[in-house]
Structure 1
Amino acid sequence: MVSVMRKPEKVERLYLDFDGYFASVEQFANPKLRGKPVGVVPFDGTTSTSVIACSREAKMQGVKSVMHMRDAKRVCPDIIFVPQKPDLYRKMHLMLLNEISTVIPIDTVKSIDELTCRLEPAMRDHPETIGYLLKKRLEGAVGKVITSSIGIAANRQLAKMACKAGKKHDGKSYGDGLAIWKPEDMPTPLLKLDLDDIPGVGSRMKFRLLKANIVNMELLLKCEPKHMRKLWRNVTGERLWYALHGYDIQAGESERGMFGHGRVLPPGSRSLSGAYEIARLLLVKAARRLRRENYYCSALWVSLSLEHGYWGRYFRLAVVNDDQAVLEGLSIVWRQAEKELHRHAKIFQVSVTLGNLSDADQRQLDMLLNDDRKRQKWEAANTAIDTLNKKYAGTVVTLGAWKPPEGGHTGGKISYTRIPSSEDFWV
């Protein structure tokens, strides 16, 4: 259901996105990298993985995130590859949030490098002033090394699109933009954009729109709300219609559906045995997060990216949140992998996910298993382990061996959608 609140007459939302965040933080931390094309990669000493993020200088030469290192080197021969430092990005993120909050209250932190703010009534008549003050504040803290692009509009969707549009100027520079889309100026700024400039419109959705003879933004804006719902095949399309037409709407909060971690494997761990050791560590990290946020799970997914394909399995767990239970599930799944995969299979990435969540105070036991006594024993053991690890701010006690892989950051990787806690970096 779409809940249309109102149509603002002034700009009310600000969207801020740091430009090439991971790479620019690397440049801030290491002055020798400033002004040079930089690509952040999962770990040091590899040439067979993809670029996680790249600096403004690299982007101007055609490098893109998720581009293979080989291709990045081809389009930008002087690119400098540096291994990721997730804990550094997290600390810088917290510092930058503190700087921003001295200028304007932060409404929602969307990711490690994106956030939204609500403009207070006194700010709405002169939005360029708040944009200028934010940029001056950040420049005073980190100079011109870490820049941001800002979009200001009537609602969050339009502010995000304005922010993205403001990142690119005349093809000679990237980022540090400020775009203000006032209600009285709409929809002119939208008509300059392509369909895939809309957040969430990927290649499949764009193909669906083209099949419906909607080939540009003007035709999309002429659609009716119900037709947009039909095109998207859910209420998201209708919500988007109202957002593009300047309405302020609020979608309901999404419920957490899973806890998981993934890791690109270093060259020395790209075997079944090497991948298993890293999968164990990832799964323990996921179970710790599960307990910290007071959930139980009843499903485990394990997936492996192979040299020539993919392997994955689902395993049903009892309703659990302790390390012993999830590791036992992993052992069973791994025995299947050993039976079905060639013993010399080359594994490039492993991912583990705990799903089918339930709140800790709503746990329902499986009467057929009758394992309550066993679960209580292991949960008590995990409580003691978690208490000790928290006391010493590190992994001092674990079930079984704890051997962090080459390159570190097992479970502490920063995605663009989740900001890890300090506990994720315990080794």
Structure 2
Amino acid sequence: MRKPETIERLYLDFDGFFASVEQQCDKELRGRPVGVVPFEGTDRTCVIACSKEAKAFGVKNVMNVNEARQLCPDIVLVPQKPDLYRRAHNTLLAEIESVIPIDTVKSIDELTCRLDDGGRRDPVPLVDRLKRTLANNVGTHITSSVGIAANRQLAKIACKVGKKAGERYGNGLLIWNPEDLPEPLFKLTLEDIPGIGENMARRLYRSRIQTVEQLYNLAPKHMRKLWHNVTGERLWYALHGYDVQAPAAERGMFGHGRVLPPESRSLHGAYEICRLLLIKAARRLRRGGYYCAGIWLWLSIRDGSWQGKHRLPIVHDDQAVLAGLDRLWARVRSELPRTMTVFRVGVTLMDLSPADQRQLDFLEDDDRARQKWERAAGAIDRLNAKYGRTVMSLGMWKPPAGGHVGGKISYTRIPTAEDFW
């Protein structure tokens, strides 16, 4: 495994991305504390993103609205606009590519680049030109923080540290040359290291590993043992400056989740939204060239959750996956009270196989019916693609208040234009 002798990676993270896009697009929001929420008109939800002005009051992402208002009474709550954030993301990528090639887009607001020889010798002019290009061609209210180091993991950590330098938040730049390390790492907490979440941190504490320095001084095999897999060993090499390349992830499922608006928090309302989300997932399944053999349903309910799985024949048409949902929903109705409140739903199509490797189930003997429904699904997809929106669907198409069925932006998946049809 190669250990770079100089800086090679640039990691860029946009500051408060959703909120800063809102401020860039609406002059009334500039300079004010802004919180982006799933939908307007209720306090029973959370802030999914907040501006640097809101962060200064202690507001954090995924914080309850009432708690955010206690910390910052003047916070302005703005309903999310996922398609706006998608278009802003694409615009920003195009501008970045005009300055430096993008190596990997990590999420809606994070990406990494490889430095050329000039950037390795003197990265500051490169970063200045990059930020100036974004400010001039997109806007000054969408800022970014940059970390530069020998590998991607260290550059990401530097980016996070630089973002919160001193009392200032955002628009940071921090460069960690190999000769500077590992001392800056030892000033961090375990939770500051990407890949160490709350559960992993507890496991480390139970093993009497309480500081990054203690973690750094472990042996690679010890790290693997603590993580119960090779991820821990990869993290060891990354922290020690090696150029670690994680294997490409394989597609494992297609799914969607959604916080329900108040008027849809009944079993009936939850079912209708699950049905729309599942159709969206099946569309993505077909566009990706896959079949699935299972469906998973999850409900967040009062005092807990409900989940269930149902096996499917190897399918990708709407009729088949909706039939699976109906089977699962029959269990929901039998196991939960009719008056149960549902706060959030999630549906997932799993057990994937490539479309060109489909194996028919001879016990089902449903190939004729499946081909008929697949032709119907293909015709629906072509009509929707022609008009750029949902003009035809299997069953009623009535998105709930706030819209964005299947077009929600997570920080790990960037939706396409088709997801908003």
The answer for the alignment partner of 2:266 in structure 1 is: 271
The reply to whether residue 18 of structure 1 matches residue 14 of structure 2 is yes
What is the 5 A alignment of 1:10-409?
Answer: 10-171=6-167, 173-409=168-404
- Aligned partners of 1:296 and 1:357 also within 8 Å: yes
Alpha-carbon separation, structure 1, partners of 2:220 and 2:165? 32
Aligned-pair CA distance for 1:44: 1.4
Aligned-pair CA distance for 1:122: 2.4
Alpha-carbon separation, structure 2, partners of 1:169 and 1:153? 17
Alpha-carbon separation, structure 1, partners of 2:217 and 2:412? 32
Aligned-pair CA distance for 1:142: 3.4
Alpha-carbon deviations, 1:60-79, whole Å to 9, x = none? 11001111001011111111
Aligned-pair CA distance for 1:263: 1.0
TM-score (norm 1): 0.97
- Aligned partners of 2:279 and 2:318 also within 8 Å: yes
Report runs of 4+ in structure 1 exceeding 3 Å deviation: none
Alpha-carbon separation, structure 2, partners of 1:66 and 1:361? 41
What is the 5 A alignment of 1:408-423?
Answer: 408-423=403-418
Q: Root-mean-square deviation (CA), in Å?
A: 0.9
- Aligned partners of 2:257 and 2:277 also within 8 Å: yes
Aligned-pair CA distance for 1:410: 0.5
Alpha-carbon deviations, 1:188-240, whole Å to 9, x = none? 22111111110010122112112222211111111111111111111011111
Alpha-carbon separation, structure 1, partners of 2:202 and 2:40? 38
Alpha-carbon deviations, 1:13-48, whole Å to 9, x = none? 000000000011011111100111111000111110
Alpha-carbon separation, structure 2, partners of 1:350 and 1:113? 25
State which drifts further: 210-219 or 179-188: 210-219
Write the letter of the residue equivalent to 1:209.
L
The change in CA–CA distance for 1:242 and 1:283 in structure 2 (over 3 A counts) is same
Aligned-pair CA distance for 1:336: 1.1
Alpha-carbon separation, structure 1, partners of 2:198 and 2:379? 49
- Aligned partners of 1:209 and 1:231 also within 8 Å: yes
- Aligned partners of 1:11 and 1:127 also within 8 Å: no
Aligned-pair CA distance for 1:311: 0.9
State which drifts further: 210-219 or 337-346: 210-219
- Aligned partners of 2:24 and 2:140 also within 8 Å: no
- Aligned partners of 1:23 and 1:54 also within 8 Å: yes
- Aligned partners of 2:12 and 2:111 also within 8 Å: yes
Write the letter of the residue equivalent to 2:236.
W
Alpha-carbon separation, structure 2, partners of 1:350 and 1:195? 32
Unaligned runs of 5+ in 2: none
Alpha-carbon separation, structure 2, partners of 1:273 and 1:423? 27
Alpha-carbon deviations, 1:110-133, whole Å to 9, x = none? 110000001112211101221111
Aligned-pair CA distance for 1:141: 2.3
Q: Secondary structure at the match of 1:124?
A: helix
- Aligned partners of 2:294 and 2:351 also within 8 Å: yes
% identical aligned pairs: 65
Alpha-carbon separation, structure 2, partners of 1:9 and 1:50? 45
Aligned-pair CA distance for 1:406: 0.9
Q: Secondary structure at the match of 1:249?
A: coil
Alpha-carbon deviations, 1:384-406, whole Å to 9, x = none? 11111101111111111111111
Q: Secondary structure at the match of 2:121?
A: coil
- Aligned partners of 1:93 and 1:113 also within 8 Å: yes
Alpha-carbon separation, structure 1, partners of 2:268 and 2:201? 42
Number of aligned pairs?
Answer: 421
Alpha-carbon separation, structure 1, partners of 2:126 and 2:184? 21
TM-score (norm 2): 0.99
Unaligned runs of 5+ in 1: none
Alpha-carbon separation, structure 2, partners of 1:387 and 1:204? 45
Alpha-carbon deviations, 1:278-324, whole Å to 9, x = none? 11100000000000000000110111111222111111111000000
Alpha-carbon separation, structure 2, partners of 1:361 and 1:44? 44
Alpha-carbon deviations, 1:143-167, whole Å to 9, x = none? 3311100000000000000000101
Alpha-carbon deviations, 1:237-256, whole Å to 9, x = none? 11111110101021111111
Q: Secondary structure at the match of 2:233?
A: helix
